[in-house]
A and B are shown apart, each in its own frame.
Chain A
């Protein structure tokens, strides 16, 4: 099912961040949001996630906008933002499992997701001992740990080492092969095959 946005405008703090942007993502697609700092990549992702409202335009699926049925949208969408949402007092496993179960995943999917990002060996370690990169990998592991059609990622490569970037690329490719979609906001060139691009600068406000 197609995920799309039409004529989107976003206003933050009385400043027009972008306007008149359209996008469309088909199953198996990846959409990369590019543009300089402050061009609204994060704002766009938050609008797609349903956290922020856009000033104008609609975002939704073929069977209804995200405002029509927010819960259905949430069940289909996994979001990895700047903040890791990792609880230092819980172990790596508990962190991953908690979010997976809340979103319809289970123990098997959570452990598989930790495996993808090379965290299986650390599963029983309290998350407060993780390095910044490991914490970020744990937050990315939330995406494959649960069933979701659409992955939204904000600067997913920050703090990742080269191996982890490869693992991330592989996870995105596997997700797309199984009919998933991915939207990635990034400043670095991620090695993603035939990705669509949305240049946020094109819709930049005054």
Chain B
């Protein structure tokens, strides 16, 4: 087994022992979405119109909560030093971290998304696009999150700073994620939106590990 798979397995093993962390993120996702009907009122037409946007916005906010746990615990207990000194390029370590983060956060968010869509009465044509856009968009969130988490490592109040850094960067994911669902509901072509999200995923796959590794090296210096 190579180093990449070992780090993913290590992260998954740790996440499994601390499964509460992932559960909290998903609960936050559902709870934040549930707040909207209370604030806006129970009008079904309005809620079903809002479904796509709400799912994506709350998914982004829930993901924000999870980024701090990417590197901070490892930084504080010295594991990050040891990971940086393992004979694996730090870029691959970051990619493994992002993969494990997606498996423990993005995937559960994806699984919970249809539940929220049902609560909002989203039209049924939208579900395919919802799942496809979540499948392409949540890995982008994990990857951009590694950069934000690495940049704010060691900063005081890193969590707030992290959200301020990352939220603007994930706006394109929000725009095309919600738009793909709207397009599917309105009977328009979904593919262009999904292709753009696929493009974002590829770009993030190449650029984010590199940027995050550079800032981790800086943080460890």
A residues with CB within 8 A of B: 49-53, 71-72, 74-75, 77, 79, 81-87, 89-90, 94, 98-99, 101-104, 139, 142
Among A71, A75, A81, point to the contact of B81 (Cβ < 8 A): A81
User: What residue of chain B has the Cβ atom nearest to residue A99's Cβ?
Assistant: B82
Q: Say which residue of A81, A82, A89, A102 sits within 8 Å of B86 (CB atoms).
A: A102
A72 to B77, CA, bound (A): 25
Contact of B18 with A by CB under 8 A? yes
- Tell whether, in the assembled complex, residue B78 and residue A85 are in contact, meaning their CB atoms are under 8 Å apart: yes
Query: Is B82 a contact partner of A85 (Cβ separation < 8 A)?
Result: yes
Neighbouring A residues of B192 by C-beta, 8 Å = none
Residues in B neighbouring A104, C-beta threshold 8 A: 87
B13 contacts across to A, CB distance below 8 A: 90, 94
Tell me, in angstroms, the Cα distance from A52 to B220 when the chains sit together. 7
Question: Which size bracket describes the interface of B in this complex?
Answer: 20 to 34
- Rounded to whole angstroms, the CA-CA distance of A118 and B30 in the bound complex is 48
A-B contact pairs, 7 of them (CB 8 A): A52-B220, A71-B87, A71-B89, A74-B85, A77-B85, A83-B78, A101-B1
Most B C-beta atoms less than 10 A away, residue of A52, A86, A103: A103
| Minimum C-beta distance from B91 to chain A (A) | 12
**Top 6 A-B residue pairs of the complex, sorted by shortest distance between their CB atoms:** A83-B78, A85-B78, A89-B17, A75-B87, A74-B87, A85-B79
Query: Which chain A positions have C-beta within 8 A of B77?
Result: 83-87
- The A-B contact count (CB < 8 A) is 64
Contact A102 B220 (CB under 8 A): no
Contact status A52-B81, CB under 8 Å: no
Given that A51-B221, A84-B78 are contacting pairs, would A102 and B84 also be in contact in the complex, using a CB cutoff of 8 Å?
A: no
| CB-contact partner of A53 in B1, B3, B82, B221, under 8 A | B221
Q: Chain A contacts of B1 at CB under 8 A?
A: 101
Partner of A79, one of B6, B17, B81, B221: B81
A104 to B86, alpha carbons, bound, how many Å?
Answer: 9
Q: Within the assembled complex, what's the spacing in Å between the Cα atoms of A98 and B14?
A: 11
Choose among B3, B78, B89, B221 the residue that contacts A102 (Cβ–Cβ < 8 A): B3
Interface residues of B in 77-109 (CB under 8 A from A): 77-79, 81-89
With A89-B14, A90-B14, A90-B17 in contact, is A51–B78 under 8 Å at CB?
A: no
Instruction: For residue A46, give the distance in angstroms from its CB to the closest CB of chain B.
Output: 8
- Cα separation A90 to B74 with both chains bound (whole Å): 14
- Residue interface bits B6-29, CB-to-A below 8 A is 1, else 0: 110010011001100000000000
How far in angstroms is the closest Cβ of chain B from A41?
A: 16
A residues less than 8 Å from B76 (CB atoms):
83
Residues in B whose Cβ lies below 8 Å from that of A142: 82
Q: Is the CB of B87 within 8 A of A51?
A: no
What is the minimal beta-carbon distance from A37 to any residue of chain B, in angstroms? 20
Decide yes or no: A85 and B17 within 8 Å by CB, A71-B87, A101-B6, A103-B86 being known contacts.
no
**Which single residue of chain A is at the shortest CB-CB distance from B82?**
A85
Q: In the complex, which residues of chain B have a beta carbon less than 8 angstroms from the beta carbon of A90?
A: 13-14, 17
Q: How far is the CA of A90 from the CA of B76 in the complex (A)?
A: 16
**B residues less than 8 Å from A52 (CB atoms):** 220-221
Nearest A residue to B84 via CB reads A51
Neighbouring A residues of B83 by C-beta, 8 Å: 102
Contact (Cβ within 8 A) A102 B7: yes
Residues of B with C-beta under 8 A to A75: 87
Q: Which residues of A contact B88 (CB under 8 A)?
A: 71, 102
- Chain B residue numbers with a CB within 8 Å of A71 are 87-89
CB-CB nearest in chain A for B3: A102
- With CB as the reference atom, state the residue of chain A lying closest to B10: A98
Residues of chain B within 8 A of A84, CB atoms compared: 77-78
* Chain A residues with CB under 8 A of B81: 51, 79, 81, 83, 85
Instruction: Assess the A50–B85 pair: CB atoms within 8 A.
Output: yes
